[in-house]
Amino acid sequence: MREFGYERVHDVAGAVALLSGDPGARLLGGGTNLIDLMKAGVERPSLLVDVRELPLDEISFSSGGGLRIGATVSNSDLAAHPDVRRHYPALAQALLAGASGQLRNMATVGGNLLQRTRCGYFADLAKPCNKRVPGTGCPAVAGDHRNHAVLGASEHCVATHPSDMAVALAAFDAAVSYETADGPGELPIEAFYLPVGDTPHIETALPAGSVITGVTLPPVPAAAHSRYRKVRERASYAFAIGSVAAALDVREGVVHDVRLAFGAVASRPWRARTAERALTGGPADGTAFAAAADAELAAARPLPGNGYKVTLMRNLVVAELTRLAAEAAR
């Protein structure tokens, strides 16, 4: 067994100080991902900094009218919160689809954002993996890649991001707040996750030694009419093979606002801005929905074993937007 230290902190400054003083330190929230990676030998921290008792467990309205979500809020509490269910239903649905009740009770918002890929090659120390050991290669490109990326991948990595919650946050332009030794900062979620490029081991734009303190959701009127749909290989809890967060504001048959984000198709939540631009100001019908999906997925570069994801995502987009449009017409 590899030895490691353990420290429980009660304030953000204390957590930042411990991270700054030990490059091998890792933050421990619910541990639903980190502990598994430690057992597999993928993560080998020298110090675990337990942040569960930080005063970051509240959900409140922000000054701009959106929601402010603390980093240690559990996934269960976030999914059940009445303001989340009322104003951002796709976020609540994404959380409920993401894991069993036991895991949601433990998992935190900050930890969910930082969870790592479930690629089998990444988790297997006997295999090479650029995300785990830069420069060793990506065996998934020629190997088992059925559940891997079709958008935004590179020859260096075709793994997908596993979070359901982050897909909904991406659709609603969330921003991630953090604290460092130099003070606070904030990143839009689209800038928070980095393109895979030739450095797949660098997954986020967080500065070294950062502690995530919360997530801010801006007021998005269309988000009140939103849905999250997840497809997985079994009916019980499993990671997605494709998912979509969709929000639609239709006025007199015309799309006034639309939000789309895809999950399980890229190394990060994929904001479908090409599809959004194609739909805004146009008719809210199946033909337009299909054309917008095709426009977005024109950038897909599937591997021999995962081309089904392109058709899957097209069908998901059309189905969920059609459902939202029908609800708006009632």
Structure pTM? 0.97
Report residue 125 CA to chain centroid gap: 25
What DSSP assignment string belongs to 164-196?
A: SHHHHHHHTT-EEEEEETTEEEEEEHHHHBPP-
* CA gyration radius, the chain: 20
- pLDDT tens digits along 221-250: 999 999 999 999 988 888 999 999 999 999
Distance CA 150, CA 166 (A): 18
Assess whether pLDDT exceeds 80 at residue 1: no
- pLDDT tens digits along 304-320: 999 999 999 999 999 99
Mean pLDDT confidence for 198-212: 97
Assess whether pLDDT exceeds 80 at residue 31: yes
Nearest CA to 210 out of 30, 62, 43, 15 is that of 15
Q: Is 254 strand, coil or helix?
A: strand
**Dihedral sign of CA atoms 309, 124, 117, 69 in order:** positive
Report residue 89 CA to chain centroid gap: 16
- pLDDT tens digits along 80-129: 999 999 999 999 999 999 999 999 999 999 999 999 999 999 999 999 99
